[in-house]
Amino acid sequence: MLEVNDVSAGYSLLRVLWDVTLKVSSGERVALIGPNGAGKTTLLRVVVGLLQPYGGKVIFNGEDVTNIPTFDRVRKGITLVPEGSRVIPRLTVYENLRAAATTKEAKDKFTDTVDMLFTLFPILKERKEQLAGTLSGGEQRMLAVARGLILRPKLLLVDEVSLGLAPKVVTQIYDSFKELSGMGITLVLVEQYVRKVLQSTDRAYLIEQGRIVLSGSSRELMVNEYVRKAYLGD
């Protein structure tokens, strides 16, 4: 479904990614782990088209999308839930969802998608008329994920959803990812909460200093000696 081929990218003279290659098949859950500053967010930005790579290609469902704008990639089914809870504080939960439904497909299917989202995150249903700025951190994060889902993505990229949240809330959000996966949505999860994400995904890539240094099944990475020492605190 997604192929990143030999991508190098950065910010003018600061080169951040070096020949990054990865593949995600339809229906998979893939983790992207690595330390602060490794280039995880940069890679997601390249995939959605917020950053143009110096070289390499992004292929989505067999089509080279490297040079098409973000909005068109969204229409084709790629959506990013960015780092931090991006919600609009002075709009209600419902209005936040409405405002995120920017494509024709999202607008046409809005009512059905909202029903699905309220089943997935019942707390958002309860808070439907509440201003997003008054939600708890975890609720805002759920709303941010829901705003991504309102676009009916085939591939959902989520950047550090767990950051700063209590373990219980993280588990709730990861449970929802499991359900999304069951609905056929392909997931790429960037995480520093390495144990959790390896438990919840099929495959994983470890990125360090802009290079993929390790990849394999999430189970393999979980028992890998280097991963255990450096990332799992074993």
Ligand X SMILES: Nc1ncnc2c1ncn2[C@@H]1O[C@H](COP(=O)(O)OP(=O)(O)OP(=O)(O)O)[C@@H](O)[C@H]1O
Of 40 and 203, CB closest to ligand X: 40
Q: Give the span between the Cα atoms of 134 and 89, in whole angstroms.
A: 7
Helical H runs in 40-193? 40-48, 70-76, 93-100, 104-108, 110-120, 122-126, 137-149, 167-182
Query: Can you give the binding site for Mg ion, defined by CB under 5 A?
Result: 40-41
Instruction: By CB under 6 A, name the one of 15, 19, 25, 37 that touches ligand X.
Output: 37
Token duo for residue 102: 């920017």
Separation of alpha carbons 159 and 32, rounded Å: 9
Binding-site member from 2, 7, 41, 118 for ligand X (CB under 6 A): 41
Ramachandran angles phi, psi of 40, nearest 5°? -65, -50
Q: Which does residue 143 touch among ligand X, Mg ion, none (CB within 5 to 8 A, set by kind)?
A: none
42 part of the interface to ligand X, by CB under 6 A:
yes
Measured from the CB atom, is 116 or 190 closer to Mg ion?
190
Nearer to ligand X by C-beta: 39 or 148?
39
Q: Among ligand X, Mg ion, none, what does residue 224 contact (CB within 5–8 Å per kind)?
A: none
Using the rule CB under 6 A, is 16 a contact of ligand X? Answer: yes
| Cα angle, residue 139 at apex, residues 101 and 116 outer, rounded to 5° | 45
Nearer to ligand X, 116 or 187 (CB): 187
Contacts to ligand X from residues 171-200, by CB under 6 A? 192
CB atoms within 10 A of CB 188: 24
Calpha distance 219→203 (Å, rounded) = 8
Which CB atom, from 172 or from 192, has the smaller least distance to ligand X? 192
Tell whether residue 13 is a contact of ligand X (CB under 6 A).
no
